């Protein structure tokens, strides 16, 4: 599957099938810090991703210093 | 995974609630979180006019969308910070959302109106850009709310933001900052009421809300904020959250319940120190307010 990543923007290929939480773990990401989007739709951690899926891993952390 | 509320296939899991939701029930959940926060903290009274601070990011656009859908009279204000392409892009997201919703968006451009941008201010003060940025936002957003005759200024600070700020303030035992870290700062002479209706929503949820509602927002991080302390605190708290779901919410929400009342005396003392800036008339604990000092330093 083709996986789109941010910060910096890049694409990688990952062999499927595999579950969302496995993909996130394999990429060394914290599941609290990202959303996984297949096509235009959000998917939960237990969803099975197919080898021909197009996936975006979107970071959700934002913000500057605040006090 | 099934939706906790209706049993349909879920699209998002929220571990701290031990729940997953389908798209419709997630929207209902977000609306309930905001409604509950607004009511509990008496943030917005019926009929009041709200000005929402819009950055073009997920939190502020989700907040504006939620307030509009809940029936509040809410306009937006976008602050141009002069951060090159990043500012142009984020302004575009804010304007496209406002156009699509038929909502009113005010634009205040700092370089046009004050002759400098955040990078210039950082160079002049020799401090991190986020410092000058936060200072300018506080001053100019408050001014925009007062000038527009709004009753309330709403910002998109979410649970993760507040937990990270709390973490930083506790690490330094900064008692003055802890005392003023409130979901509502009441209106006083020269200050509009400031409210944070998203404090019960994590930023993963505000991002999911935007994805599900097809709200385009700027995903890329502000180039000025990269590697800052606030982001490091968030990463630290997320590492804890991954092992112990609900840790962030407990840390912050219990601070509100148990610690803020203890700090009321400190907050009261701080409020009593506030006078008026001799140059711009804004509230200030010094003779000249921090924003006027910043403008002066950038000009020299």
pLDDT digits (tens, 9 = 90+) for B48-101: 999 999 999 999 999 999 999 999 999 999 999 999 999 999 999 999 999 999
- Give the span between the Cα atoms of B168 and A36, in whole angstroms: 29
> Does A65 have pLDDT greater than 70?
no
Measured between alpha carbons, how far is B32 from B30 in angstroms, rounded to an integer? Answer: 5
Q: What is the pLDDT of residue A63?
A: 59
In chain A, pLDDT over 70 holds for what percent of residues?
93
Structure-block tokens of residue A26: 């394999």
Residues of A whose CB is below 8 A from B177 = 67
B244-266: pLDDT as tens digits: 999 999 999 999 999 999 999 99
**What is the pLDDT, as a whole number, of residue A67?**
34
Q: What is the pLDDT of residue A66?
A: 42
Comparing A44-53, A58-67, B231-240, the range with the smallest average pLDDT is A58-67
Identify all chain B residues contacting A30, using CB atoms and an 8 Å cutoff: 235, 238-239, 242
Interface confidence (ipTM) of the complex? 0.92
How does the average pLDDT of chain B come out, rounded? 94
The whole-number average pLDDT for the span B199-219 is: 97
> Does the distance separating the beta carbons of A62 and B241 come in below 8 Å?
no
Please list, in sequence order, all residues whose beta carbon lies within 8 angstroms of the beta carbon of residue B178, skipping any fewer than 6 positions away. B166, B169, B170, B259, B263, B266
Q: Flag whether pLDDT at B223 surpasses 90.
A: no
Residue B65, φ and ψ in degrees, nearest 5: -60, -45
pLDDT at residue number B171: 97
Residue A33 has pLDDT above 50, yes or no: yes
| Residue A51, both tokens | 């080898």
Most confident of A58-67, B32-41, B181-190, B281-290: B32-41
Name which of B11, B211, B242 is nearest A30 (Cβ-Cβ): B242
Pairing of strands B184-185, B73-80: unpaired
Q: Do B229 and A61 touch (CB under 8 A)?
A: no
- CB-nearest partner of A62 from B165, B168, B203: B203
Model pTM? 0.94
pLDDT band (50, 70, 90) for residue B241: very high
């Amino acid at each position: 599957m083709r996986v789109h990543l941010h910060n910096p923007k890049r694409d990688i290929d990952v062999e499927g099938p595999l579950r969302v939480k496995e993909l996130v773990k394999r990429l060394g990401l914290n599941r609290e810090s990202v959303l996984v989007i297949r096509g235009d739709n959000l998917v939960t951690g237990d969803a099975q991703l197919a080898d021909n899926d197009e996936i975006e891993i979107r970071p959700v952390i934002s913000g500057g210093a605040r006090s | 995974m099934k939706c906790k509320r209706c049993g349909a296939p879920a699209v998002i899991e929220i571990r701290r609630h031990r729940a997953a939701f389908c798209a419709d029930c997630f929207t209902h959940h977000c609306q309930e979180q905001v409604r509950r926060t607004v009511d509990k903290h008496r943030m917005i009274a019926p009929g009041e006019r709200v000005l929402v601070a819009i950055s073009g990011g997920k939190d502020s656009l989700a907040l504006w969308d939620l307030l509009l859908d809940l029936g509040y009279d809410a306009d937006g204000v976008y602050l141009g910070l002069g951060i090159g392409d990043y500012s142009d892009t984020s302004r575009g997201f804010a304007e496209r959302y406002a156009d699509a919703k038929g909502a009113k968006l005010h634009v205040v451009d700092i370089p046009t109106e004050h002759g400098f941008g955040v990078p210039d201010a950082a160079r002049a003060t020799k401090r991190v850009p986020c410092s000058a940025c936060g200072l300018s936002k506080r001053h100019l957003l408050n001014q925009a709310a007062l000038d527009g005759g709004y009753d309330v200024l709403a910002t998109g600070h979410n649970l993760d933001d507040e937990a990270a700020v709390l973490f930083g303030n506790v690490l330094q035992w900064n008692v003055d900052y802890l005392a003023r870290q409130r979901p509502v700062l009441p209106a006083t002479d020269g200050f509009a009421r400031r409210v944070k209706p998203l404090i019960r929503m994590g930023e993963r949820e505000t991002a999911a809300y935007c994805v599900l509602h097809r709200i385009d927002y700027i995903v890329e991080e502000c180039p000025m904020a990269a590697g800052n302390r606030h982001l490091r605190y968030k990463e630290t708290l997320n590492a804890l959250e991954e092992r112990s779901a609900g840790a962030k919410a407990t840390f912050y929400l219990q601070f509100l319940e148990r610690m803020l009342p203890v700090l009321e005396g400190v907050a009261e003392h701080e409020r009593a120190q506030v006078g008026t800036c001799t140059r711009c008339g804004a509230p200030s604990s010094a003779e000249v307010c921090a924003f006027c000092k910043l403008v002066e330093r950038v000009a020299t």
